[in-house]
Amino acid sequence: MSSMPPLDVVESSDPMATPRRVALVRPDMRPAVRMTDEPYVMTFPNLIIREIILFQIVVVGLAVAAMLFDAPLEGIANPLETPNPAKAPWYFLGLQELLHYFPPVVAGVLMPVLVVIALVVIPYARINLSAQELWKGAGAGRLAAVIGVASAIVLLFAAFGCWPIVVPTACVALAMLAARGGGDGGAIRTTLARVTLPEWIMLWFTIVAAILTIIGTFFRGPGWTFVWPWAAAAAG
């Protein structure tokens, strides 16, 4: 505010003769710019050059990959000859792995729809906007809620024999409990203590999705039975 020009106060009885500017600043809605002293740089060349270099790195990297590894091509499509197992592209193998445990309407429709809805509402959920460390100022209620929800998820998926979800869920729940009161523990507990509830949920979702995809991609053989990747490679 020190750079403001001095204000001239003019007194007059004629309001039309002396135009005035009135600014009403509510203390809770100050239009003050955040971090005014933050350094800025010109977009050209600083950002543009970096973008061009990034593009070149991606092109060169992909060109090298394209020279080293050939895209797969099998025999011509034959509707009469079903390969075993018939696998979808890798990014859908997590869903295909779920098909092994749940009826198709649950694994193929309900779960992906729920995931998309959950992703869309992320920025509109109050819990995400006021993100706080999970255990900060938490009472016994939150402890009970975390244990209750985690147990419910573990039991639900255990009932369907879906261990690729049960095991990571239990691990994440244990990590959440280990973070409790970890503010002055070791380095790992201190880090865990800073994680917010929405971050825990996303972490859990990412780990589960990754494990399902990896199992579906590398550990599934004929009839969707469990195989070791090296066994599958030897057979294939």
CB atoms within 10 A of CB 194: 13
Toward other proteins, which CB reaches closer, 128 or 227? 128
Under rule CB under 8 A, residue 186 binds other proteins: no
136 binds other proteins (CB under 8 A): no
Q: Does 59 bind other proteins (CB under 8 A)?
A: yes
C-alpha span between 2 and 190 (Å, rounded)? 42
Give the nearest distance from C-beta 23 to other proteins in angstroms.
20
Phi, psi of 31 (to 5 degrees): -80, 10
48 lies in the binding site for other proteins (CB under 8 A): yes
If binding means CB under 8 A, how many residues of this protein chain bind other proteins?
67
Residue 102 C-beta: closest distance to other proteins, Å: 11
d(CA 165, CA 92): 16
Mention every residue, 6+ apart, whose C-beta is less than 8 A from residue 112: 95
User: Pick from 208, 196, 135: which is nearest to 172 by CA?
Assistant: 208
Among 4, 24, 29, 120, binds other proteins (CB under 8 A): 120
Strand partners, 194: none
End-to-end C-alpha distance for the chain, whole angstroms: 73
Kindly list the residues in this chain that would bind other proteins in the complex (CB under 8 A): 34-35, 38-48, 50-51, 54-55, 58-59, 62-63, 65-67, 69-79, 81-83, 86-92, 95-96, 99, 103-105, 107-109, 116, 119-120, 122-124, 128-131, 199, 202, 206
